[in-house]
Every structure is written in C-alpha cells, then in structure tokens.
C-alpha cells in the first residue's frame, strides 16, 4: 500500500496533510526517515513511525508538556489559548490534558487519548503523588513540615491528606500531595498566610518533568515512561 494511503487510513490526516508530514521528515519506515509519500510499504511487516511513535502498535498517544504560564489546561476555549492549541501533532483529535494546572502554573502535564489511564491517575482513591516546586512571598517555618505531614483544614470537608514539604530555602520548597483539590497547593500555603508566587509541577506518579523542555515545549513519552505509567493502571501509590 502507498505510504500516504496507509497514514490516511489510520486517521492521521487528509491525503495532503499526511503528504506534508512525510515531506517534513516526520515519518520513518524501519527507523529511516522517508520523504516520498508515494513509497510502497508492507503494512504487516514494515514499522512505520510518526513523530517517534510507532503507528503499528499504538492506538494511544502520550505526550508530556512543560505547560507555560498564561495558557489554559483545556482542549479548547473561546477566549484563551489552551495547551492543545500549542500542539502540532498528528493525530490530534481525541487528545486531552490529564488533570488541571491553574492558568499561572507551569510544569508537567500529561496529554493523551487514553481515558482509562487518565481516570486512574486522577482517581482520588489511587493517591497518585504530584510533586510541585513552589516559591512564596514570605518565610517558611520548619514546623510547617509537620502540619503538611499530618494534614490541616484548608476550608474543605476534610483535612488535607498527608503531604510532604521539603524546604529548600526560606521561600522555596517542594511539596508532594496525593490529592488534587481546586487550588490545593496555593490554599495550603494560604493557611499560613503565605502567597504562592511561582508554582511548577515536576512529577506526577512515576512521570518526571523533562527539564530539557522549555515552557510550551512537549515531546512524545519514551517507551519506558509509557510502561511505567501503564503499570500504574494496577498500582500507582507512592
Ligand atoms: N495546586 C494549585 O494551587 N494550583 C495548581 O495549578 C496545581 C496545584
């Protein structure tokens, strides 16, 4: 079958869109970039990949983005730019961000079309750990570490679940939480009269933010990152 026809049959895009992708060098056959859309492939033997993702074996796509501030964590919005607006990938239909970061928050965002994985990562019962780097407008005290460990009232029905506060300097810290209530990290510090001036997620479950990604950049997950996440479908508590 012709390569462009094969890519179109997988729903990657229209014939002209897939031709463009091939010409841009985004498609590899058996690990070699091909530039001719009309080339013939053996669908059952040749390994075709697009943007580094093996099309023969994947019905799901997984990307990590370093979300920039000023962009909404949403698929689309009438008013603001969304994280999906920043992505130029094929196929794009069906992709969505897993969980939500505030508009002014930066850092790790998983973007996928795997609804089951997303459900599992966000399920409150799974206690998936999320780690944030935080800067504050005031001074951290050592005693807060115990509060974070034991939980406290931030105006919700229940106290916060045990969290880890690692103080890095008088106004910088890492915080690891296993829940994801609205503005949770900001509200936790607000409890002590502190305002979060910068917030960046650096980890979600087994997935670590790739520090080579500048805000707004993204990349496909590596096979080992995907498998560490998929293992989470069974057990992701940390
Ligand atoms: N907690 C917050 O307050 N904001 C975020 O974006 C994520 C966690």
Check residue 202 and give its pLDDT: 98
Q: Is the CB of 101 under 6 A from ligand 1?
A: yes
Per-chain mean pLDDT for the chain: 91
Taking the centre of ligand 1 as the mean of its atom positions, its distance from the CA of residue 189, in whole angstroms, is 11
**Residue 136 pLDDT > 90, yes or no?**
yes
Q: What is the pLDDT of residue 151?
A: 96
Helix and strand numbers (H, E) in the chain are 6, 13
Model pLDDT, residue 91: 76
Give yes or no for residue 185 CB within 6 A of ligand 1: yes
pLDDT band at 137 (very low <50, low <70, confident <90, very high): very high
**CA 196 to ligand 1 centroid distance, Å:** 10
Among 74, 102, 181, residue to substitute to test ligand 1 (most atoms within 8 Å of Cβ): 102
* pLDDT for res 42: 82
Which of the four pLDDT bands, split at 50, 70 and 90, describes residue 220?
confident
CB atoms within 10 A of CB 13: 19
What's the pLDDT score for residue 57?
52
221 lines ligand 1 (CB under 6 A): no
Best residue among 105, 179, 196 to mutate for probing ligand 1's pocket (most ligand atoms within 8 Å of CB) is: 105
The pLDDT of 166-175, averaged and rounded, is 98
In DSSP terms, 196 is beta-bridged to 136
Residue 102 annotated as catalytic: yes
C-alpha 198 to ligand 1 mean position (Å)? 10
Contacts 24+ apart (CB under 8 A), 2-7: 2/37, 2/38, 2/39, 2/40, 2/41, 3/27, 3/29, 3/34, 3/36, 3/37, 3/38, 3/39, 3/40, 3/41, 3/48, 4/37, 4/38, 6/41, 6/43, 6/48, 7/48, 7/50, 7/55
Q: How many angstroms does the Cα of residue 185 sit away from the middle of ligand 1?
A: 5
Q: Which of 46, 54, 85, 102 is catalytic?
A: 102
Percent of the chain whose predicted confidence (pLDDT) is above 70: 95
Q: Quick check: pTM over 0.85?
A: no
The beta strands (E) that lie in the chain are given as 27-29, 32-33, 48-50, 53-54, 62-67, 96-97, 106-112, 130-136, 164-169, 172-177, 196-204, 207-208, 218-220
Q: Which protein residue's CA is at the shortest distance from atom 3 of ligand 1? A: 183
Q: For residues 10 and 169, which has the higher predicted lDDT (pLDDT)?
A: 169
Does residue 105 have its Cβ closer than 6 Å to ligand 1?
A: yes
Could you tell me if 107 and 67 are in contact, meaning their C-beta atoms sit under 8 angstroms apart? yes
Q: Which residue has the higher pLDDT, 46 or 217?
A: 217
pLDDT tens-place string over residues 8-61: 867 677 889 999 999 999 999 999 999 999 999 887 678 888 888 877 655 788
Distance 68 CA to ligand 1 centre (A): 14
């Amino acid at each position: 079958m012709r390569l462009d026809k094969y890519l179109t049959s997988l729903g990657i895009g229209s014939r002209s869109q897939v031709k463009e992708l091939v010409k841009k060098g985004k498609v590899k056959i058996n690990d070699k970039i091909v530039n001719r859309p009309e080339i013939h492939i053996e669908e059952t033997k040749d390994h075709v990949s697009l943007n580094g993702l093996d099309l023969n074996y994947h019905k799901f796509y997984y990307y990590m983005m370093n979300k920039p501030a000023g962009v909404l964590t949403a698929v689309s919005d009438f008013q603001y730019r969304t994280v999906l607006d920043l992505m130029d990938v094929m196929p794009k239909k069906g992709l969505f961000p897993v969980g939500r970061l505030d508009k002014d928050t930066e850092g790790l965002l998983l973007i996928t079309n795997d609804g089951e994985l997303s459900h599992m990562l966000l399920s409150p019962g799974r206690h998936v750990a999320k780690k944030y780097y935080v800067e504050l407008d005031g001074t951290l005290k050592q005693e807060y570490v115990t509060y974070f460990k034991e939980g406290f009232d931030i105006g919700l029905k229940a106290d916060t679940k045990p969290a880890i506060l690692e103080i890095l300097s008088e106004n910088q810290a890492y915080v690891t939480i296993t829940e994801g209530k609205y503005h949770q990290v900001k509200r936790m510090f607000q409890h002590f009269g502190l305002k979060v001036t910068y917030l960046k997620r650096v980890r979600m479950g087994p997935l670590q933010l790739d520090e080579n990604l500048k805000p707004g950049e993204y990349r496909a997950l590596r096979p080992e990152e995907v498998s560490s996440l998929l293992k989470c479908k069974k057990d992701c508590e940390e």
